[in-house]
């Protein structure tokens, strides 16, 4: 089960519930993978809706690695994600948002 207070997001891949999390190491790996070279550019693309499937794939892979899974882009290219590309994009956006959001007090 994903813990949003830790920045975690749940995603079911090939019938297995996975926990995604952008750790500092995962963020560094993600930044190295990006064409733009900037996480701020990536955030901007998601905020404006101008993200690519490559952005979604890179975020999901980084989140999986940060969550402890050893899956790469090739594994995901053949994987079945519950809810399809739309749910994958929503999970990627939520993962990115949770990585840079300050936790709020319950009820506040």
For 4-50, how does the pLDDT look when each residue is reduced to its tens digit (9 = 90+)?
888 899 999 999 999 999 998 888 888 888 766 678 888 888 889 88
The DSSP-derived string for 5-34 is: GGT-EEEEETTEEEEE---HHHHHHHHHH-
Domain for residue 107, yes or no?
no
Q: Is the dihedral of CA 32, 46, 91, 4 positive or negative?
A: positive
With respect to residue 15, please indicate whether it lies within any of the assigned structural domains.
yes
Q: Which two tokens stand for residue 10?
A: 């749940």
The helices-and-strands tally (H runs, E runs) of the chain is 5, 2
Residue at 58 is within a domain? yes
Is the Cα torsion angle 72, 60, 102, 48 positive or negative in sign?
A: positive
The answer as to whether 57 is a domain residue is yes
Q: Tell me how many domains the chain contains.
A: 1
pLDDT attached to residue 106: 60
Query: Are the C-beta atoms of residues 11 and 90 closer than 8 Å to each other?
Result: no
Does residue 104 lie in a domain region? no
Structural domain harbouring 18: 4-99
Structure tokens that stand for 87 in this block: 């749910």
> Is residue 105 domain-resident?
no
What pLDDT, on the 0 to 100 scale, is given for residue 30?
A: 85
The answer as to whether 14 is a domain residue is yes
- Is 74 within the bounds of a domain? yes
């Amino acid at each position: 089960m994903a813990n949003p207070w830790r920045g975690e997001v749940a995603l079911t891949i090939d019938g297995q519930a996975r926990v995604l999390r952008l750790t500092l190491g995962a963020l560094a790996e993600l930044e190295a993978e990006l064409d733009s070279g900037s996480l701020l550019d990536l955030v901007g693309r998601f905020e404006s809706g101008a993200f690519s499937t490559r952005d979604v794939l890179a975020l999901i892979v980084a989140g999986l690695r940060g969550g402890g899974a050893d899956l790469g882009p090739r594994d995901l290219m053949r994987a079945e994600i519950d809810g399809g590309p739309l749910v994958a994009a929503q999970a990627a956006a939520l993962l990115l948002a949770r990585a840079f959001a300050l936790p709020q007090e319950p009820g506040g």
